[in-house]
Chains A and B, each alone.
Chain A
Amino acid sequence: MKKLSIKKLMLALAIFVCLGSCKKSFDLTPGTELDATLMYRNVYDADAAVMGIYGKFMGLADKYVILNELRADLLNYTANADEYLRQVSTHTVTADNPYTSPRPFYELIINCNDVLKNFIIMKQKNALKEAEFNQRYSDIACLRSFLYLQLGIHFGDEVRYVTDALENVSDINNPALFPKIKFDALLDTLINFTEAIPFKDQYPTGTTLNIVLDAAPTNNFFINKKCLLGDLYLWKGNYTKSATYYRQVMEYASFDNSLENRYTQWKVGWGGNFNHYISYTRGGDASTLNMADGWRTIFNRPYDVGYTREWVWALPYDSKFKPENPLIKLFSPIGGDYLVKPSQEIIDNWNNQQQNPITIAGSTTGIPYDARGLISVRNIGGQPVVMKYLYDYINYATNVPVNPFAKNGKWYLYRQTLLHLRFAEAANRDGFYKLAYGLFNQGLTITFSTLPTINDKTNQQNTFSYPDPYKFDARNGEIPFFRSDWYRNIGIRSRAGITPYTITSPTDSLLQVENGLINEGALENAFEGSRWPDLLRIALRRNDPAFLADKVYNKLKKDGDPLADATRAKLMDKKNWYLPFKL
């Protein structure tokens, strides 16, 4: 009996010793994860925080495309789509719909808040220099404003504006802590906050975030702050302010040492060594649409000069790194689930355009469709597939992936054509219809030339009589010699080889040009995430629910959705333009 007791005693002792050492064994610092206290020490840590935020932001790409395109009229669900995706398209979203939950946006916003808070602490501790702080703080601040603008667009007056670094996202549901803010008031708040950021340019050359990373120039990774400000003012209805910011972006390359960059980057200019025309290898022969060069390569470029001249903001997905590309799953029938497809509405829209005639093959009629449609959408296995996000994955010549497992691609967020369309929208609302019309049709040089053409261009091809920011110099003359910064501006429709938009009643330029701009946004920037915001902004501005409701109705009707009529009736009521807010 006695022996046994000793054994038990020893066992108890051993357990006690083990328990005693528990604290230490559980408090080990993790081997592969960084402890919060070691996170914000120097500028490289700050850079890591910025990259971390953008890395997480990339996880939102599919939701961004679904919210901004599937709700509008260019994209529709396929037979493969689940009930929740169909809800998004037919505007019958239930609160439990995972695609329309604001939660992932708020998670990222709270991460942004945390980073912003720590950047301020770092600045106070002199861990960041003034300039370093300004650049990084402004970047993350703008991204947060961008996320809030997205929330406002989709949730309307239900948004909670949170600027604290919360421990728990669900706290946002507490109305006592965070009251709802109206969409209009949200815009004011965002403008006030974003206008006050200390730095509005891109990361300057030589800074640690303006580098080439795995062959990609990082400069295009980060949000363009002036585009965001232009957008915010455009939503608010402050057109001159909006146009001023957009114009600054359009002039980004105006002091570039390379003349080609100066004339073409973000100016929708012709030529250079990188044309983004719709072209045919033999003009007039419709069977020779150039896929190897020109407009298609916008969506399948290496990170070269042509890429940076077109793209203002785009983020790359590389199969070698996380996060995984969610857009292939969404769009591709090969290696993906093919959940969404182009609507018949947009296909008809392309087919209703007319190309400029090519003299040798018939000088009175041209090809009767917009070839951007043939590039934006292709048939794979008998199904229409949105190709813009897939050209880095599926080879255009063979329609099969070069490497099925290398799901590379890019998330396209802002392109020079979107910039020009938005600038033109602001200019149009400010009364400069002709300028707006010229930018999206034949370009400034042609629009502001008087006919018959005269040799002296001194008083031609410019808008010197307009106030800033609408003053443009697009002169291109020989005697006297002019090659002004804007002389190559070609216009969005001209670049695509199609005839100018028809204005039927010149007395009503404002609405007609605006309609033309929105339509051009569909033809040129389809599926790039700008359609729903465009429709919503115009419907709000004109107080015209039918503008929005009819377009969604046409999509559903043409695609044979039985809910078309019900959806139209629903969207005629403004309160149904927004999604249910549930975290």
Chain B
Amino acid sequence: MHRKIFKPLLLIAIAGLTFIGCKKWDEHNAITDPAVDKDLFQQIGENSNLSKFAELLIKSGYDKVISSSRTYTVFAPTNAALAALDPALVADTAKLRMFVGNHITNQSYYTINAVALLRLQMLNGKYNNMLGKKLEDANISEADKYAKNGVLQVLDKMLPALPNAWEFLEKSPLAPAKQKAYLLSLFRNVFDNTNAVQIGVDPMTGNPVYQPGTDSVRTNLFWRNVYDIREESKQYTFFMLTDNAWDTEVNKFKPYFVTGTVDSTTQLSSQEVVKDFAVEGVYNPATIPDSILSKFNTKMGIEKSAIVQTIKTSNGIVFIMSKLDITPKGKFKQYVIEAENYRFQSADRRGNTYFRDRFSPVTGKDFRDVLVFRHGLALFNLNYRLNGVPALKYKAYWVAVHDNINGLTTTFTQKLGIGSATSAVLPYITVALNNFNEVYLGEFNLTTYNPVLDIYLTAANNTAEATNPIVCDYIRLEPVL
């Protein structure tokens, strides 16, 4: 009997020991900071200084979002900061959601970690920059307050959801009319087969046939060719000219775009003017340098006195200028055509074509050129094509190295055909022996704008192999301005 009792007793004793241990473990694990037990919305609700923001959260429905189990950082403006909030905005649900959403972001961001600039995507899709205890231009007055589902940062200013650069252009009364009208005229339907519905195959070409209306997207040429300034994740500085300044600039470039009609000249000139007007990054109006380089490497002179107004956007800044003087010399760059990248040969002579790698004692660098030797054709030529060539006078140069080709010690001639292979605009030029220098070929004048300009490298008009090779490293066309 005694034995029978002993075993259960022992079991109970051991179990008891275990349970005592458990309790201590619980204490060890217990939450000691009460803040961590509350979600973001509860925390905001308990802070009397944030009561207005709490109301807005409830009204916009974001209260449920930040009470959820996902992690957020809420940048809550104080009641004082919200005093100036437009009641009309509060009444418009969509605008209110934009506004409140501009203060909440996914994941936890602490001020101590924001040592480098953080660009945070807010719940409304816009971005705000955080650096240390600043979010955009608002100070974080109470920082890094933990909550169960994220972090609460208290701001001394509200952050209205600004329009981006393109929204500004479209909607703001501040945007100058003429540049705006031009940019809005650039909407085109552009082929894009992402969502295209194929309805057949062209029996002649084998190309797919798409259902009309599905094979293109409507887009703006400025977005495609310069920058898509609707993009929220990046930052752009966008320049707009007042109407007078716009007219001055467009008229200045019209002589270089001589075409058959006034309209197309204006159109081309406007396009040339506007292409430099968006640059990546944000320039502060106080510290903007006196010249900046555009995407197309054009130097733009910025006179601070010509800044009429600057408008902060959600993705950068807009400068409205009364003058933005860009010289034609800055706009029109030289053309350097690598001769080995020809479009086609007048007859297929790949078997006689040598792509040669050489070292230039002049530049101290290696280069690749093209040699066609023993092609056996009079006026054999290589074609190159330039796009959008403005009406200008050009000086032409080439580097052509005749390093005793096939042991020849005699020279040969070749020429640059402008527009056609046999054009006599530029003369035949002798290719001297072992000359690695640039050779001046003469100048030619384009009186009209050329949407495409064909350039030919043409061999001598005979069939003798010693006198009709062509060889060239590159062709350089320098605008005379």
Interface residues of B in 346-389 (CB under 8 A from A): 351, 353-359, 366, 368, 371, 373-374
Q: Are B366 and A361 closer than 8 Å at their CB atoms?
A: no
**A351 CB–B CB distance under 8 Å:** yes
Interface of A toward B, CB cutoff 8 Å: 282, 284-287, 351, 354, 357, 359-365, 367-369
Residues of B within 8 A of A354 (CB): 359
Q: Mark B388-404, 1 if CB is under 8 A from A, else 0.
A: 00000000000001111
Known: A360-B373, A364-B434, A369-B366. A286 touches B404 (CB 8 A): no
Q: How far is the CB of B345 from chain A (nearest CB, A)?
A: 14
Interface of B toward A, CB cutoff 8 Å: 351, 353-359, 366, 368, 371, 373-374, 401-407, 434
Q: Are B353 and A362 closer than 8 Å at their CB atoms?
A: no
Residues of A within 8 A of B403 (CB): 357, 362-365
User: Ordered nearest first, which 9 A-B pairs have the shortest CB separation?
Assistant: A368-B359, A362-B403, A286-B357, A287-B355, A363-B404, A285-B354, A361-B354, A364-B403, A367-B357
Q: Is the interface of A mostly helix, strand, loop or mixed?
A: loop
Q: How far is the CB of B436 from chain A (nearest CB, A)?
A: 9
Q: How far is the CB of A254 from chain B (nearest CB, A)?
A: 39
Known: A359-B406, A363-B406. A284 touches B354 (CB 8 A): yes
Q: Are A363 and B407 closer than 8 Å at their CB atoms?
A: yes
CA distance A285 to B358 in the complex (A): 11
Residues of B within 8 A of A284 (CB): 354, 356, 371
Q: Are B356 and A367 closer than 8 Å at their CB atoms?
A: yes
Q: Are B405 and A361 closer than 8 Å at their CB atoms?
A: yes
Known: A361-B371, A361-B373. A285 touches B405 (CB 8 A): no
Residues of A within 8 A of B366 (CB): 351, 368-369
Q: Are B356 and A362 closer than 8 Å at their CB atoms?
A: yes
Known: A351-B366, A368-B366, A369-B366. A362 touches B371 (CB 8 A): yes
CB pairs A–B below 8 angstroms (7 shown): A284-B371, A285-B354, A360-B354, A362-B401, A362-B404, A362-B405, A369-B357
Residues of B within 8 A of A368 (CB): 357-359, 366
Q: How far is the CB of A126 from chain B (nearest CB, A)?
A: 67
The one of A286, A360, A367 that contacts B405, using a Cβ cutoff of 8 Å: A360
Residues of A within 8 A of B353 (CB): 285
Q: How far is the CB of A382 from chain B (nearest CB, A)?
A: 20
Q: Are B355 and A285 closer than 8 Å at their CB atoms?
A: yes
Q: Are A367 and B354 closer than 8 Å at their CB atoms?
A: no
- Other A-B contacts than A285-B355, A362-B356, A364-B434, 15 sampled, CB-CB below 8 A, are A282-B351, A285-B353, A286-B354, A354-B359, A359-B407, A360-B406, A361-B405, A362-B358, A362-B404, A363-B403, A363-B406, A363-B407, A364-B404, A367-B356, A367-B358
Q: Are A282 and B357 closer than 8 Å at their CB atoms?
A: no
Return the chain A residue nearest B355 by Cβ: A287
Return the chain B residue nearest A283 by Cβ: B354
Q: How far is the CB of B66 from chain A (nearest CB, A)?
A: 40
Residues of A within 8 A of B402 (CB): 362
CA distance A365 to B353 in the complex (A): 17
Return the chain B residue nearest A362 by Cβ: B403
Q: How far is the CB of A362 from chain B (nearest CB, A)?
A: 4
Return the chain B residue nearest A286 by Cβ: B357
Residues of A within 8 A of B359 (CB): 354, 365, 368
Q: How far is the CB of A498 from chain B (nearest CB, A)?
A: 13
Residues of B within 8 A of A282 (CB): 351, 354
Q: How far is the CB of B465 from chain A (nearest CB, A)?
A: 10
Residues of B within 8 A of A359 (CB): 406-407
Q: Are B356 and A361 closer than 8 Å at their CB atoms?
A: yes
Residues of B within 8 A of A364 (CB): 403-404, 434
Residues of A within 8 A of B374 (CB): 360
Residues of A within 8 A of B354 (CB): 282, 284-286, 360-361
Most buried by B among A357, A362, A363, A367: A362
Return the chain B residue nearest A368 by Cβ: B359
CA distance A362 to B370 in the complex (A): 12
Return the chain B residue nearest A365 by Cβ: B403
The one of B368, B373, B401 that contacts A286, using a Cβ cutoff of 8 Å: B368
Q: How far is the CB of A583 from chain B (nearest CB, A)?
A: 45
Q: Are A365 and B407 closer than 8 Å at their CB atoms?
A: no
Most buried by A among B353, B357, B401, B406: B357
CA distance A457 to B192 in the complex (A): 74
Return the chain B residue nearest A361 by Cβ: B354
Q: Are B368 and A363 closer than 8 Å at their CB atoms?
A: no
CA distance A357 to B405 in the complex (A): 10
Q: How far is the CB of A360 from chain B (nearest CB, A)?
A: 5
CA distance A539 to B406 in the complex (A): 46
CA distance A367 to B356 in the complex (A): 7
Residues of B within 8 A of A367 (CB): 356-358
Q: How far is the CB of B355 from chain A (nearest CB, A)?
A: 4
CA distance A214 to B434 in the complex (A): 56
Q: How far is the CB of A374 from chain B (nearest CB, A)?
A: 10
Residues of B within 8 A of A369 (CB): 357, 366
Return the chain B residue nearest A280 by Cβ: B354
Q: How far is the CB of A162 from chain B (nearest CB, A)?
A: 53
Return the chain B residue nearest A358 by Cβ: B354
Q: How far is the CB of B233 from chain A (nearest CB, A)?
A: 24
Residues of A within 8 A of B351 (CB): 282
Residues of B within 8 A of A357 (CB): 403
CA distance A369 to B366 in the complex (A): 9
CA distance A392 to B441 in the complex (A): 51
Return the chain A residue nearest B359 by Cβ: A368
Return the chain B residue nearest A352 by Cβ: B359
CA distance A364 to B353 in the complex (A): 18
Return the chain A residue nearest B368 by Cβ: A286
Residues of A within 8 A of B405 (CB): 360-363
Q: Are A286 and B355 closer than 8 Å at their CB atoms?
A: yes
Q: How far is the CB of A131 from chain B (nearest CB, A)?
A: 56
CA distance A357 to B404 in the complex (A): 10
CA distance A575 to B351 in the complex (A): 59
Q: How far is the CB of A383 from chain B (nearest CB, A)?
A: 21
CA distance A105 to B78 in the complex (A): 70
CA distance A362 to B404 in the complex (A): 5
Return the chain B residue nearest A360 by Cβ: B406
Return the chain A residue nearest B433 by Cβ: A364
Q: How far is the CB of A283 from chain B (nearest CB, A)?
A: 9
CA distance A543 to B411 in the complex (A): 55
Q: How far is the CB of A238 from chain B (nearest CB, A)?
A: 43
Q: How far is the CB of A182 from chain B (nearest CB, A)?
A: 48
Residues of A within 8 A of B355 (CB): 285-287
Residues of B within 8 A of A363 (CB): 403-407
CA distance A274 to B353 in the complex (A): 28
Q: How far is the CB of A127 from chain B (nearest CB, A)?
A: 63
Return the chain A residue nearest B406 by Cβ: A360
Q: How far is the CB of A284 from chain B (nearest CB, A)?
A: 5
Residues of A within 8 A of B371 (CB): 284, 361-362
Q: How far is the CB of B75 from chain A (nearest CB, A)?
A: 36
CA distance A351 to B374 in the complex (A): 30
Residues of A within 8 A of B406 (CB): 359-360, 363
CA distance A363 to B353 in the complex (A): 16
Q: How far is the CB of B405 from chain A (nearest CB, A)?
A: 5
CA distance A143 to B371 in the complex (A): 54
Return the chain B residue nearest A367 by Cβ: B357
CA distance A364 to B359 in the complex (A): 12
CA distance A10 to B407 in the complex (A): 108
CA distance A345 to B234 in the complex (A): 39
CA distance A368 to B374 in the complex (A): 24
CA distance A285 to B373 in the complex (A): 11
Return the chain A residue nearest B360 by Cβ: A368
Q: How far is the CB of B291 from chain A (nearest CB, A)?
A: 32
Return the chain A residue nearest B371 by Cβ: A361
CA distance A270 to B355 in the complex (A): 27
CA distance A30 to B401 in the complex (A): 77
CA distance A44 to B90 in the complex (A): 93
Residues of A within 8 A of B407 (CB): 359, 363
Residues of B within 8 A of A287 (CB): 355
Q: How far is the CB of B353 from chain A (nearest CB, A)?
A: 7
Return the chain B residue nearest A284 by Cβ: B354
Residues of B within 8 A of A365 (CB): 358-359, 401, 403
